[in-house]
Homo-oligomer: A and B are copies of this chain.
Amino acid sequence: MSLSAKVCANTAVREATPGLMAALAERFVERFSTARAVREQHGRDESAYVDAPLPQGVVFARSTADIVDTVRLVGAHEVPLIPYGAGSSVEGHLLAVQGGISLDLSQMDRILAIHPEDMTVTVQPGVTRSQLDEALKGSGLFFPIDPGADASLGGMCATGASGTNAVRYGTMKENVLALEVVTAHGEVIRTGTRARKSSAGYDLTHLMVGSEGTLGIISEATLRLHPVPESISAAVCSFGSLDQAVNTAIQVIQCAIPVARIELVDANTVRMVNVHSKLALPEAPMLLMEFHGSASGVQEQAEAVQAIAKEWGGQAFQWATQAEDRRRLWTARHHAYFAAIQSHPGCRAISTDTCVPISRLAECLLESTAEVNATGLPYFLVGHVGDGNFHFGYLVDPEDSRQWAQAESLNDRLVARAIRLGGTCTGEHGIGLHKQGYLLDEAGEGSVAMMRAIKRTLDPHNILNPGKIFAFD
């Protein structure tokens, strides 16, 4: 039985009745689609799952009122509703495992307000990262969270995304000030204000961030912006071994050098990236780094890191000071996933996402690398190592059940190791479908019971993205 077949086995599909389908068609006209191609597009993401049921229809929302009406219609029929942003989940968040309706938010793509004087921006959920980047050009401000994919900001909130800049600027948790949310009852609430801090009641903003669309649908987000640093410099540094690269990263963090990015790519993955992005990076374990600050601050940081790297046998830094060179470098890094897939046509990548305290990173990463090497399974390995977070992508032939089992077993052992070392099964991808057992191992029955109690009280009919994070019953 394949991974996704297992995931879906215990969940009954809740069919939309002809009455609901007619009501949605009447309300949304051409913005409600039941075309197979549209449903297929909304029934797949970047996860390894390929055989979940398709959603029965797709609503294209353009306003909070559209979301409210959709929630009320499906709610009256107790049919699942799955919010859809850019489709870049790697954990099956978008899959209609219990059937139902997909709610496409990509047309809610307006930037509602930029307040440069307060360094905040308010966006609709369908605004993508690159769109926000573009809108902020010339403002002297930027939004730092960069998960690689051109994700929607609503999706990034819902997943608790982070990425390469988190080591310096934090994750979505630290950068979402307030949300507008449509509840499972079709009510619109606001979870915060534009003030930098607040102690006004329960922190509903953080409850929603990372709730994976299961507690409410994010219809608006107010985010923190950061000043574009006076000076930015990027560098790559190659090492003789993975161990040396990892230990350099650990020491940089322990010395509290405020690097903006410090990313690990193993030799095998550098090779795939070179092919995919037509680069000629040395095919050795590598750290990609970025330094932000005043001109003198950047120089100070870079010198300190170079000294540490040298002690660990690192080669001389190769610099990318021009914006265009930096862009190429980071694009190549972000395409590691696609480079890996391309290197093994037809395969799917099962991505791991453990994150451990920095002092345990070398142990966790090196033992796990030895384990995967011993199996002979192809993989890529990249890491936001400054946070103690790294991703293996095990490359499996979806038809080969032995490979699936191997990948699952590797992931099991990796997660068990990370938890034992004081870490988490997911630094930034979320629980989705596949990590529900790991969540239990990590958080314990009591914590998951508390999450379930909150879900059941806020969404008693299990309408919102059911089947994700934990079992409802």
Chain A residues proximal to chain B, CB less than 8 Å: 115, 117-120, 159-162, 166, 170-171, 173-174, 183, 187-204, 206-207, 209-211, 215, 226-227, 254, 256, 294, 296-297, 300, 353, 355-359, 387-389, 418-419, 422-431, 435, 438-439, 442-444, 446-448, 450-451, 453-454, 456-458, 469-470
Q: How far is the CA of A153 from the CA of B458 in the complex (A)?
A: 31
The distance from the CB of A162 to the nearest CB of chain B, in whole angstroms, is: 6
Select which of B173, B197, B204, B357 is within 8 A of A120 by beta carbon. B357
Q: How far is the CA of A202 from the CA of B469 in the complex (A)?
A: 9
User: B203 touching A358 by the CB < 8 A rule?
Assistant: no
Which residues of the other chain, B, contact A188 by a CB distance below 8 angstroms?
446
Which residues of the other chain, B, contact A203 by a CB distance below 8 angstroms?
160, 173, 206-207, 209-210
User: B454 touching A198 by the CB < 8 A rule?
Assistant: no
The distance from the CB of A415 to the nearest CB of chain B, in whole angstroms, is: 10
The distance from the CB of A199 to the nearest CB of chain B, in whole angstroms, is: 4
Select which of B195, B197, B451 is within 8 A of A201 by beta carbon. B451
Which residues of the other chain, B, contact A422 by a CB distance below 8 angstroms?
193-195
User: B428 touching A199 by the CB < 8 A rule?
Assistant: yes
Q: How far is the CA of A190 from the CA of B202 in the complex (A)?
A: 18
Q: How far is the CA of A160 from the CA of B469 in the complex (A)?
A: 27
Which residues of the other chain, B, contact A296 by a CB distance below 8 angstroms?
296, 300
Which residues of the other chain, B, contact A453 by a CB distance below 8 angstroms?
457-458
User: B254 touching A444 by the CB < 8 A rule?
Assistant: no
Please give 19 more A-B residue pairs, beta carbons under 8 A apart, in addition to A189-B443, A194-B357, A204-B451: A115-B359, A162-B197, A173-B206, A183-B450, A189-B446, A191-B443, A193-B442, A194-B423, A195-B387, A195-B418, A195-B427, A196-B389, A197-B427, A199-B210, A201-B447, A206-B207, A207-B454, A227-B256, A453-B458
Residue of B nearest to A188 (CB): B446
